[in-house]
Amino acid sequence: MGNILDKFKEVPQEKKEIDASRKLRIGIIGTGWIAEAHVDGYKRMPDVEIVAAADLIPGKAEAFMERMGLGDADIKYYPSHKAMIDDKSLNLDAVSVCTYNCQHAPCTIYALENGINVLLEKPMCVTTEEAVEICRAEKKSGKILSIGFQPRFDENMKMLKRIVESGVLGKIYYIQTGGGRRRGIPTPFGTTFIEKETGGIGALGDIGCYSLDMVLNAIGYPKPLTVTGYKSDFFGKNPESYPGHPEYAEKFGVDDFAAAFIRLEGGVILDFRIAWAMNLDTPGDTILMGTEGGLRIPSTECWNGSIGGPMTIYHEVGGAQVETKIPVMNTNGNVFDMKIRSFLDAIKTGGTAPIPSSQILYNQAIIDGIAKSAELGREVTIEIPEI
């Protein structure tokens, strides 16, 4: 007889009928690594037509679409996001912003100002100021802006939120989160992640944004108040970190490790650490401590929503201290496709953004607060103006 808990592992997804009578006209801004996942996803959507692609590097967008099997498709090519958005004959419904971090804000704001819906890759941008400008442009436009946190669609992440909302943990007062890799500075396609002018922020934004989203989404995204941050670049600046490319060390202008102590509204403390590289297997599991129970989530590389093992709830039943293990669940389907689908559905129904900027603004403010506090060498107050 199988374990009864196995029944919870597979979660059936409801199959929705998609009205493909009108195809949404999509443009891709930035045709690097992650654009592949966007184009693959859009190709599986019956109500989508990719009509345009832009990249700053001459010929890159054309070669990219050829590689993606769309060389013969009716796609127009542009040398920048601006040239693409300015071509009104395209009648774009939406764009995917797949540029490196430093170009997230200008591309997203320009698209929204021109009445185009935006699916923006994570992290939202680099600074809090940029995030505020993005939110203002979205509000003014009345268009959909969704931010690319595909782990939200993972069943384990949904379960984490349900556990918190069930009240079994009581009032949550302390959270430790983060994760990362022993060695994993992302340079397989060049240096756009590690240069200040393109990446803007390192591990902190690249994978830190996911671990922050995991716990903040579970507890309802309370406002961040203050932060004491630290960041370092010992691995990034070491030529030995790049076999075959020692020159990358000179270009490294971001963080490869960050840690912080953040106070959130409602008396919650967030203790955070994230690494692209470290002399450890993990900087620690994610834990949530509450007045009625505690939760441990074995750590991961924190990008795809997977968890490192079953979650454990530590609580008291009838005066006894007991543990409840929540089996790891398999998500039925591709989380990346789900993020794209949820965005398209929001456009078609006029609904709200599936991963709203109002939440991710707080995520970005924490990231930027950590960077600023680390540079100043003291605690900073997180100021977020009215949108």
Ligand X SMILES: NC(=O)c1ccc[n+]([C@@H]2O[C@H](COP(=O)([O-])OP(=O)(O)OC[C@H]3O[C@@H](n4cnc5c(N)ncnc54)[C@H](O)[C@@H]3O)[C@@H](O)[C@H]2O)c1
Residues lying near ligand X in the complex (CB under 6 A) are found at 29-35, 54-57, 60, 80-81, 98-101, 103, 107, 121-122, 148, 150, 189, 192, 206, 303
Q: Which is nearer to ligand X, 310 or 356 (CB)?
A: 356
Alpha carbon 289 to its chain's center:
24
Residue among 120, 132, 138 at smallest CA distance from 387: 132
User: DSSP assignment, residue 316?
Assistant: E
Rounded to a whole number of angstroms, the minimum distance from the CB of residue 8 to ligand X is: 26
Question: Residue type for 297, please?
Answer: I
Q: Which is nearer to ligand X, 33 or 174 (CB)?
A: 33
Spell out the residues 6+ positions from residue 354 whose beta carbon is closer than 8 angstroms to its own.
146, 152, 339, 342, 343, 345, 346
CA distance 271 to 264: 11
Rounded to a whole number of angstroms, the minimum distance from the CB of residue 38 to ligand X is: 9
Rounded to a whole number of angstroms, the minimum distance from the CB of residue 169 to ligand X is: 29
Strand order in the sheet with 380-381: 320-326, 311-317, 293-297, 286-290, 172-180, 268-275, 257-264, 224-232, 380-381
Question: Residue type for 272, please?
Answer: F
Rounded to a whole number of angstroms, the minimum distance from the CB of residue 245 to ligand X is: 15
Rounded to a whole number of angstroms, the minimum distance from the CB of residue 152 to ligand X is: 11
User: DSSP assignment, residue 61?
Assistant: H
Locate tokens 């995204």: which residue? 221
- The two most distant CA atoms of the chain are separated, in Å, by 69
Q: Which is nearer to ligand X, 56 or 387 (CB)?
A: 56
In the bound complex, which residue of the shown chain has the CB atom lying closest to ligand X?
32
Q: Which is nearer to ligand X, 272 or 336 (CB)?
A: 336
Rounded to a whole number of angstroms, the minimum distance from the CB of residue 110 to ligand X is: 9
Residue among 143, 140, 90, 96 at smallest CA distance from 116: 143
Q: Which is nearer to ligand X, 31 or 359 (CB)?
A: 31
Rounded to a whole number of angstroms, the minimum distance from the CB of residue 276 to ligand X is: 12
The answer to whether 193 and 187 have CB atoms below 8 angstroms apart is yes
Question: Residue type for 116, please?
Answer: I
CA distance 266 to 283: 26
Q: Which is nearer to ligand X, 81 or 152 (CB)?
A: 81
Q: Which is nearer to ligand X, 60 or 181 (CB)?
A: 60
Residue among 126, 208, 11 at smallest CA distance from 372: 126
Rounded to a whole number of angstroms, the minimum distance from the CB of residue 187 to ligand X is: 10
Rounded to a whole number of angstroms, the minimum distance from the CB of residue 52 to ligand X is: 11
The answer to whether 143 and 118 have CB atoms below 8 angstroms apart is yes
User: Which residues are registered as beta bridge partners of 324?
Assistant: 313
Q: State the Rg of the chain over Cα.
A: 21
Q: Which is nearer to ligand X, 174 or 303 (CB)?
A: 303
Rounded to a whole number of angstroms, the minimum distance from the CB of residue 123 to ligand X is: 6
User: DSSP 3-state assignment of 265?
Assistant: coil
Distances (CA, A) of 116 to 26, 35, 94, 97, 132: 10, 18, 5, 12, 18
Q: Which is nearer to ligand X, 98 or 216 (CB)?
A: 98
Q: Which is nearer to ligand X, 30 or 180 (CB)?
A: 30
